[in-house]
Structure 1
């Protein structure tokens, strides 16, 4: 049973072309798979008919049939290898040319063979096998078989022309047969084109909406958590032995906010938080949430690393530098300005997704509470860190020891103010920018 399942899985993977279709859109994937199915069908059907041809067709036709079978199969095999080499549209065109040639050979052999009806099918297949980006090729490979179909019908049914192995059995006048055939061909192209066009438009819109929803989902939670949710419908909470939590809070936010219109208030917050967001990817950090004027981010999750404390402090330095710059600009314009308190603590956390409808990626543990106390126990314009975080970043940053500071409901906590990078780890012209020596030391963590 296991061997049968293995064979079935192998066949299924072969038909899905998983190895060569990575990165394709739905529309492109559909075209490639249709090409494969047509190649397989057109190889299988004539092969199965080899024996019936021998017993059912006149002996004088056997050599002709087998020769053209070979002429069909060889190009189909070549087209299949083009498909494996990712020349998808070239493979589709080559396949259609081979099939139309084979149908043409059958049409020339027998005047009453149903082969010309195959031209109607191949004219439709061009829209399904060739990518929508190759419109000219689509129409050419659709018009070609329709032209061959009308020509064969005119030659045999109107002119009464002979085939290689016999004349036609019935003949009608041109004005009776040709106009309906032309109209039929026109309708086939028009209807199929409109159908495929509608599918392409729908798929394009679907992809755009999918990209929007993916982007929105990744703004809410980390990529690996989002993937887990999509695949399993749930995310398993994980424990991290060491992570760094950072809280920010604007000093005097309420009093200043009262002097601003709602639009101005939201615009100001958006300007600050958007800059904070830009630092998250740069320092491999994860934004968790904003609560009013408070911004919370974390380092070391969902992928564990040993640099999380240093990354958080680097981001914090840039955040305070940004707020100081905003303060100078506002001061020069005699406008009210916000100042920021920033608290950081490192320790053990549990991270996961809560909720069933409005998902939220969050962290829990006493580490979060202590980080919040570090923020509220800090000073405006400064970065206040706990002793645990200091032990992780002391080789990189210059810090002032504050002593044991009383924290609400947590007793006394050892705290430090971060002044900036150690002097020997700074760029000469920019004290907030790490130099090469910093990067060498950082790489050893």
Structure 2
């Protein structure tokens, strides 16, 4: 999902930097500055910050490569998110084939490996074959042969090359949120024909890797507190991010698996369409509680005729209420938006939001009213399927408000599903 600090745009796509970079850049600047302490005791933190910033630009290039590849594959991207690891660019529709997922995923590691090759080449041009030696004494004598400033920039380009190499290889780990996780998702999707199965495999793999990384970090922290804490942070990030993918995957599958018949209620009143408006007002409208907003369905000759627009009775002179029947307030079922029993919840959500309806009528195969669905019914059905344990009072409030809670973001999720 889009978020963070907007820093500009490229090709019409807004660029957002995740807030976590404020912490990551500071940590990297301090960590990487140790390599420059001997060469520049007064400005080693500055060179560490330069290296960290160049690494940030590498990640930016990685994300731009994702966005460009997505566009080339026909996937419309609406923003570029610069996150430390994982994450995806918000898209107008999801990838419709395993090959597209694979193409977009592999573009990131390839971009990092290309930058690594450029970095090693630049370092070689600055210092020659000395950069390929494993003898530390050769590196220590570089300032004498090429100068301190040139040595520092050699070390910076080498660090960027190594970081991109590690990042490119690291991102191929077959676990979400890494690109390797998306590659695994594409492979499982291709083999099973089930996109949701692919996401589950890749997300579970990400959770396993997160747990193992945190355990490793705990062991490393015994000898190297900073390195151990960094690994624990990475593991915690992996665990949470993979869990987010799994949660979203389960929600998407539920929106497709749960149909209108499962979610609907019989929370409407069937009224004889032949009664007079006076009888309708006396027997129904005047008997309702003050805040009640019931749904009335008119029926006559054994058939459901339509929805009764109870509020429209105010437009009819009360002197005519005895002579006019309820049919004058009925809006025929064929003139309103309805769904059938097997319609998925994603379609119901889309209809509710696009038409700004309070509820949707569910019709049986013979055309009668089988039930109604409002936003509260949808949340209740998802709650039952996904075991959210949402309080009934909260669901009642959603029914009264006639709006989905903003944190659910069901509209965005269903729009992506319905565009597939």
- Taking structure 2 as the reference length, the TM-score comes to 0.28
Structure number with larger C-alpha Rg: 1
